[in-house]
């Protein structure tokens, strides 16, 4: 019995070590949201001084940094798996003069603490969004706005949908078509 216990402890220690050492693979490629669309997303979500904005998969940090520098959000955070992008995003926040209110962290977005958000921004692959939706439903305060670039959350109903064409999208997706979907976290019953 003691041997079994020792083996179980050794196994769980080994599993934890492997888990800690295995880097999480990005499930979405890095494709920055064009600046015109950054503005459209933040405007549609009505970002303002009361807001704390979190971008899941934050790339070079443009959504959160623009939210604070231009739309005067009180602060924000980005979670990103690629350490080079995290470094670049923090440098961009410093250049924009908002490093005291904005932080980019190297972290798997599925384990990120999102509880402080009043606005969450997303530009992720469709096959991630079911899991993202489940996380947000559990962890966000009711009423929090969630804005998704191009891809819908699978079971929430958007409160607003905006479609437009922009040439900035052509080199990214081969089409000018863009859709922005705005959601509000539903009340928990
Ligand atoms: C399409 S880009 C969007 C970047 C930024 N949000 C924007 O709109 O400009 C998706 C980003 O998600 C990051 N990513 C993918 N899987 C991730 C994960 N599990 N955790 C954190 N970041 C992830 C990628 O490295 C990439 O930078």
Tell me how far the alpha carbon of residue 148 lies from the centroid of ligand 1, in angstroms. Answer: 13
Tell me how far the alpha carbon of residue 123 lies from the centroid of ligand 1, in angstroms. Answer: 7
| 82 touches ligand 1 (CB under 6 Å) | yes
| 104 touches ligand 1 (CB under 6 Å) | no
3-state SS record for 43-103:
HHCCCCCCCEEEEECCCCCHHHHHHHHCCCCCEEEEEECCHHHHHHHHHHHHHCCCCCCEE
| 55 touches ligand 1 (CB under 6 Å) | yes
Q: Whose CA is closest to atom 11 on ligand 1?
A: 57
- What is the predicted pLDDT for the residue at 21? 52
Tell me how far the alpha carbon of residue 177 lies from the centroid of ligand 1, in angstroms. Answer: 20
Q: What is the pLDDT of residues 145-165, one digit of tens each?
A: 999 999 999 999 999 999 999
| 106 touches ligand 1 (CB under 6 Å) | no
| 32 touches ligand 1 (CB under 6 Å) | yes
Q: What is the pLDDT of residues 24-38, one digit of tens each?
A: 788 889 999 999 999
Q: Is the pLDDT of residue 68 over 60?
A: yes
- What is the predicted pLDDT for the residue at 6? 44
- What residue segments make up the domains of the chain, in order of their start? 27-184
| Average pLDDT value over all residues in the chain | 90
| 33 touches ligand 1 (CB under 6 Å) | yes
> What band does 3 get if pLDDT is binned at 50, 70 and 90?
very low
| 31 touches ligand 1 (CB under 6 Å) | yes
* Residues 85, 58: Cα–Cα separation, whole Å: 8
- Fold that domain 27-184 belongs to in CATH: Rossmann fold (3.40.50)
- What is the predicted pLDDT for the residue at 101? 98
Give me the mean pLDDT over the 155-183 stretch.
Answer: 95
Give me the mean pLDDT over the 86-110 stretch.
Answer: 98
Tell me how far the alpha carbon of residue 94 lies from the centroid of ligand 1, in angstroms. Answer: 20
- What is the predicted pLDDT for the residue at 9? 43
- What is the predicted pLDDT for the residue at 22? 62
Give me the mean pLDDT over the 107-116 stretch.
Answer: 98
β-partners of residue 78 are 55, 104
- What is the predicted pLDDT for the residue at 8? 41
| 40 touches ligand 1 (CB under 6 Å) | no
Strand pairing category for 177-184 and 145-149: antiparallel
| Dihedral sign, Cα of residue 90, residue 41, residue 33, residue 186 | positive
């Amino acid at each position: 019995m003691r041997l079994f216990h020792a083996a179980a402890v050794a196994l769980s220690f080994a599993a934890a070590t492997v888990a800690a050492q295995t880097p999480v693979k990005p499930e979405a490629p890095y494709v920055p949201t064009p600046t015109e669309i950054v503005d459209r997303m933040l405007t549609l979500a009505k970002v303002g001084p009361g807001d704390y904005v979190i971008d899941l998969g934050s790339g070079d940090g443009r959504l959160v940094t623009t939210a604070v520098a231009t739309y005067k959000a009180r602060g924000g955070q980005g979670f990103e798996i690629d350490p080079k992008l995290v470094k670049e995003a923090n440098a961009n926040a410093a250049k924009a003069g908002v490093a005291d209110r904005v932080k980019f962290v190297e972290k798997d977005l599925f384990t990120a603490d999102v509880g402080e958000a009043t606005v969450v921004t997303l530009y992720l692959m469709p096959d991630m969004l079911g899991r993202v939706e489940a996380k947000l439903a559990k962890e966000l305060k009711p009423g929090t706005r969630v804005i998704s670039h191009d891809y819908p959350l699978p079971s929430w109903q958007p409160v607003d949908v905006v479609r437009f064409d922009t040439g900035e999208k052509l080199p990214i997706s081969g089409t000018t078509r863009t859709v922005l979907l705005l959601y509000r976290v539903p009340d928990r019953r």
